[in-house]
Chains A and B, each alone.
Chain A
Amino acid sequence: EAGVTQFPSHSVIEKGQTVTLRCDPISGHDNLYWYRRVMGKEIKFLLHFVKESKQDESGMPNNRFLAERTGGTYSTLKVQPAELEDSGVYFCASSFINEKLFFGSGTQLSVL
């Protein structure tokens, strides 16, 4: 069974540019989550989709971040314009129920 797939695995952009991260959840998982880990700190929740609907977006830092989940399948997380403090590892996870989250390998984002 394929796991959660994220790409790109790494992205290096300049401040002010736009970056879009993609996540493909495990087939059949209605729940999809985005988390972020800034260097050396804890993994922080960004938002949670149930199918195509945003169940909880309380962790989104500001309106420069936009998450979508088209048709309840894959999801994208766009950062526009990117700032230095947006650097970190962005993880996507999916689950069948609201427990036992399966994480992808993450996207390492570096904003220079």
Chain B
Amino acid sequence: GENVEQHPSTLSVQEGDSAVIKCTYSDSASNYFPWYKQELGKGPQLIIDIRSNVGEKKDQRIAVTLNKTAKHFSLHITETQPEDSAVYFCAARLFSSNTGKLIFGQGTTLQVKP
């Protein structure tokens, strides 16, 4: 069945360093890959997304890369700041799906140490 694996489960970096979170999806028909950030007491917030016809997308300090052949996609955060500390979720959606059904990864808890 559809599956998204996310690694690592926890990540601790020093302020100013870069952080990378990786996801692998199982269904090659997936065509949309969003990343969500969840802060304590809040719901997941969309921070960046990418479609399968694009290999890379950037938005200020965050970027997402997609390797369709390997079925991998990654989130890159540069110049990390303490406010980047949160749980990050990757997700994938099937091309054939006419619904909003997203398959989520297990989440990565990012801690940025001042």
| A contact set with B: CB distance below 8 Å | 4, 6, 31, 33, 35, 41-45, 48, 55-56, 58-59, 91, 93, 95, 98-106
Contact = CB atoms under 8 A, between A and B. Distances in A.
Contact of B46 (A35, A101, A105): A101
Contacts of B106: 41-42
B44 A43 contact: yes
B45 A55 contact: no
B32 A99 contact: yes
A53 to B, nearest CB: 11
A103 B100 contact: no
Contacts of B42: 105
Interface residues of B, number: 25
A8 to B, nearest CB: 14
Given A42-B104, A42-B105, A43-B104, A103 B43 contact: yes
A34 B42 CA distance: 16
Contacts of A101: 34, 46, 100, 102
Given A99-B32, A99-B49, A48 B44 contact: no
B34 A105 contact: no
Contacts of A31: 100
Interface SS of A by simple majority: strand
A48 B43 contact: no
Nearest to A103: B43
A96 to B, nearest CB: 11
A100 B34 CA distance: 8
B44 A91 contact: yes
B41 A105 contact: yes
Contacts of A98: 93, 97-100
B99 A55 contact: yes
B101 interface: yes
Q: Most chain-A Cβ atoms within 10 A of its Cβ — which of B44, B45, B104?
A: B44
Nearest to A102: B46
Contacts of A105: 41-43
